[in-house]
Amino acid sequence: MVIQCAATKQPEAGHLIGEDGNPILFVARPDRAPKTKDILYQRPDDLALDGRTWRAHLLDYNRRSHNPLGILPAWQLYRPPVYGELADAFGLENLFILSAGWGLLAAGFLTPQYDITFTNQADIHKRRSRRDRFADFRMPPDDREQPVVFLGGRDYVGLFRALTRGSAGKRIVFYNSANAPDVTDCRCVRFKTTTRTNWHYECARALIDGTLDLPL
């Protein structure tokens, strides 16, 4: 089960810390971020002073046995309760988060505060373009034969396809618009609802309570 990330994060969620001692907020365009002395704006693939990317530092942090920065696992980072509901229903090992900042994350992966989105309405420093180069994580194993289900907006379908290419399982994309996404390598299934904003939360809950079946 793959669900796209959310804009709203838990306020107590931890940050990676820069060499200057300030918390890092990861964004798509640090050069367009508001000027402040208290926050260091970086891209996930920017280099720290040691010449390694922050993405590499985050991998190292996840290998530790302790979590002094209070960084939350991906399924707990976002404020909408549906992420926890999916974890309870399907298990952490079967839940992945599609993050515009980090890629396709295992639900339990410790994920720092970030503000990156594909949504065009967002502030320019937050907006990731499809042309931007990110070394996205790709955490689900390819040899799993279970269906790979995507719940999310049309803006995220391209990243989902790219990061699940090679998956042994059938890929299913739910959508709610009048027209299906223009893809040929996934099965597209319409979820009919009058909800427009965050309709995929309603779709997720229908899968959880059994009122919506997967088209296997």
Q: Which helix (H) or strand (E) holds 77?
A: helix 74-77
Q: How far, in Å, CA of 49 to CA of 26, rounded?
A: 16
Report the alpha-carbon distance of residue 16 to residue 35 in Å, rounded: 19
pTM (2 d.p.): 0.95
The rounded percent of the chain whose pLDDT value lies above 90 is: 93
Q: What is the pLDDT of residues 72-106, one digit of tens each?
A: 999 999 999 999 999 999 999 999 999 999 999 99
- Among residues 136, 108, 154, 140, the alpha carbon closest in space to that of 43 is found at 136
User: What is the pLDDT of the chain when averaged over all its residues?
Assistant: 96
pLDDT of 52: 98
Q: What is the pLDDT of residue 100?
A: 98
Chain mean position to CA 164 = 13
**Nearest-angstrom CA–CA distance, 80 and 199:** 13
- pLDDT of residue 161 exceeding 90, the answer is yes
Integer Cα distance of 77 and 163 in angstroms: 21
Confidence category of residue 214, pLDDT binned at 50, 70, 90: confident
- Domain ranges for the chain, please list them: 2-12+72-209
pLDDT higher than 90, residue 198: yes
- Tell me the pLDDT tens digit for each residue of 166-184: 999 999 999 999 999 999 9
Q: What's the one-letter identity of residue 187?
A: R
Query: pLDDT tens, 108-139?
Result: 999 999 999 999 999 999 999 989 999 999 99
pLDDT in the model for residue 211:
96
